[in-house]
Chains A and B, each alone.
Chain A
Amino acid sequence: MSDAVIYFDGTSSRRHAATLTFADALEIAVDGETKARWTYADIRRADSGPGTLRVFCQSAPTLARIEIRDPALAAELTSRAVNLDEHHLGRRGIAKIIGWSLAATVSIVLVVLFGVPLAADRLAPLVPESFERRLGEVSEKQVKIVFGEKTCSSSPAGQAAFEKLVTTLRAAAGLDTAVESAVVSSEIPNALALPGGKVIVFDSLIAKANSPDEIAGVIAHELGHLKHRDNMRGLIYNGGTSFLIGLLFGDITGSSAMIFASRTLVTSSYSREAETAADTFSIGVMQKLGRSPKAMGELMLRVTGKEGGKGLTIISTHPLTEDRLARMSREDQTIKGPALLSDTEWQALKGICGKGKV
């Protein structure tokens, strides 16, 4: 029975065979000498393997332990130490964790849905122009690596036509001369607005266009992105939501997929809104110039084809092309203004990359 109670005094790893006396406090004696007195109310259970009751005392050295291997003694102590399991996480503790987690989740979701877009809208104009331009130069370098470094400038007539088109649109859009633009040779029919104010049009988009108005609408759309500072807003928005959603799911197993999915969901909805706003801007510019806003939509449809019925619409970054065209058609008007480019200028623009495609 000598091993029934073991006492560790918390200052050394020595095992003391001890005897317990249940007086008004728990008395721990080693070799007949009382080593410690533990107040029952301060005694707490510590983790231990099966068959052992291990306790510590809140008013004794932190690591002092009593190990009781005798069930009768253990029962005796359990009945006296009224607060034995008070420090353990009970049902109420778990309910509290669940409650606070749900509260944190709700607040993160609210911040993602309302706070971050607001912050992006308010912060973007505060970002210094010089920083944004730097960002633009960086992304231009990356674009050139990804799409090939081929700014088209071999045809002076084409260049002149392109500049004329951009200048007309820029003036109508109310943007200053800081806006730069270039045609880049690429297989992908697309156009980009880089942060800091640079519009890049890929030549295969020009090749697919049937009239200057179609390209003009696209450029006006990109100018809309510049005017709204969508690059900066998108950057702040994406950074903020990525961080918060990462925080929400933490490292629960398989979280990366969840993070990716939910981020795609919210950022694409944000992006669709920005695209719609840029379309509105493009429509406004084209109307101001007395030209057809619908032309851009027709070009888009030629490039993408009908999009409805393909894939999940809630994760695409752009509104459906047919919806965009429908909206532009509603805003269409009879052409009042002069043509943006003459026929010769248009042909020159089509040949700007020197490929002679018509």
Chain B
Amino acid sequence: MNQFARPPIVPPPPEPSPPLPVPPPLPAKLDFTGNRNGFLELVMRGAGLELVTLGFYRFWLVTDIRRHLWSNTVIDGDAAEYTGRGRELLIGFLIALAILMPIYLGYFLISIEAEHLQAMASIPLVLSFYVFGQFAIYRARRYRLTRTVWRGVRFWMDGSGWLYALHASLWALLAIATLGLALPWRTAALERYKLQHSWYGDLQGRFEGRGWDLFKRIWWLWLASPLAILIFPIPFFFAYYKAVEWQWWLSGIRFGEVTVESRLQSDGLQGFYWKVIGWSMLLSMGFGFVIASLAGTVIGINKALGAAPDGLTTSIPIAVVTVIGYLAFALGLSVITRLYLSRDLWARVLSTTVVTNLAAAANVAAKGDLATAIGEGIADGLDVAGF
């Protein structure tokens, strides 16, 4: 501003009228622009490559999936970007192996000592893997967040993975002690920790969702849980819970003055879960039919050739067919799950979310360093990997 500017000539308003209410800032739209067929093609091709590489391709597939989801997530007209790469995940996985190997060995030796003192005393030691898994979850989140870029500025995380693991484990003990009633408060406390240590440039995040608000909406699930024995209500319950949790979680996210609000309906995710169930039933029926008919053919051929009914000529082809069929079935299932529960679910969640006060993030200074993918590697090794 020019300090020497003359005072305005315009006369001041004659009388001090009450200040007009500031119009609320318009909420920014969130959009998902991804092409569904393009995504389907991506995951199908990825599943095929996973089969060919016996799973090694997973690092590149999961990277491609994230790149697709991130770069089609448009916030206020600008798409986000995922800058992680498959090679980083592979290296993280290899380093994680080197870390996990001595841990497994140490676990084995300690459990022998524990068993020596008291038979079956080593069972509680398994819990140490739970703590370790929580650590990995935190570090994996850090990796993903530091690869998330919007408007040329990256998200990042500080905080300690071990402290988080301690939090998560103590809350888990409390949740067990209260037969699950404390779970909403556990979720709230952990999200508070994670978001408090999440940053967009120099804009710090926080979480304002409260455990009580989540509890109010899901307590009846706790009462209804004995019904889960009937199996068929489980997907209803789960889809309801997931929708409520998404809505509650998103509506609690803040970055500085920026607020997020979700209007996801509590029945908004039912369709996706039922579609996954329907497709997997179809797939398993197809799988069973193919295996049965192939086995029948093999036995028929053997009979015609006069081979023994239980000879290797029968069991080996059937075993090979079963293994390949099973792999195809599992990969088909992964395609379905990714299509409905990653892509479609994400698109639905985005379309029901608005962001207000985005102007507060209009001029954020870049900050924060990249995190390594070792956490993701450990999470992969311990089978706790997420999105």
Contact = CB atoms under 8 A, between A and B. Distances in A.
Contacts of A63: 149, 152-154, 366
Interface in A44-102: 46-50, 52, 54, 63-65, 67, 89, 94, 97-98, 100-102
Contact of B327 (A239, A254, A308): A254
Interface string B302-332: 0000000110000100010001001101110
A30 interface: no
Interface string A136-154: 0110011011000000000
Contact of A89 (B56, B60, B97, B327): B60
Contact of A248 (B54, B97, B119): B54
B79 interface: yes
Contact of B152 (A64, A94, A252): A64
A22 interface: no
Given A13-B363, A94-B49, A308-B310, A49 B54 contact: no
A252 B309 CA distance: 34
A251 B330 contact: no
Contacts of A123: none
B58 A252 contact: yes
Interface size class of B (residues with CB under 8 A): 35 or more
Contact of B363 (A14, A100, A102): A14
A10 B67 contact: no
B53 A102 contact: yes
A50 B35 contact: yes
Nearest to A235: B108
Given A135-B112, A250-B55, A314-B315, A12 B81 contact: no
B56 A104 contact: yes
Nearest to A94: B49
A9 interface: yes
A50 B71 CA distance: 9
Contacts of A101: 52-54, 56-57
B330 A8 contact: no
Interface residues of A, number: 56
A312 B322 CA distance: 14
B54 A97 contact: no
A9 B153 CA distance: 9
A251 B384 CA distance: 10
B79 A251 contact: no
B363 A253 contact: no
A16 to B, nearest CB: 10
Given A138-B116, A252-B330, A8 B151 contact: yes
A13 B104 contact: no
A243 to B, nearest CB: 7
A63 to B, nearest CB: 5
Contact of B54 (A12, A64, A134, A249): A249
A15 B362 CA distance: 8
25 contacts: A9-B152, A10-B153, A12-B152, A12-B363, A13-B363, A13-B366, A14-B151, A47-B71, A47-B82, A49-B34, A50-B33, A54-B81, A63-B153, A63-B366, A97-B60, A134-B116, A138-B116, A142-B115, A250-B93, A251-B55, A252-B58, A253-B334, A309-B310, A312-B315, A314-B319
Given A94-B60, A258-B323, A309-B309, 14 more contacts: A12-B152, A14-B151, A15-B78, A15-B151, A48-B71, A49-B33, A63-B149, A97-B60, A98-B53, A100-B56, A252-B330, A253-B333, A258-B327, A261-B323
Closest 10 CB pairs of A and B: A8-B152, A254-B330, A101-B53, A252-B55, A47-B71, A141-B119, A101-B56, A49-B79, A253-B334, A138-B115
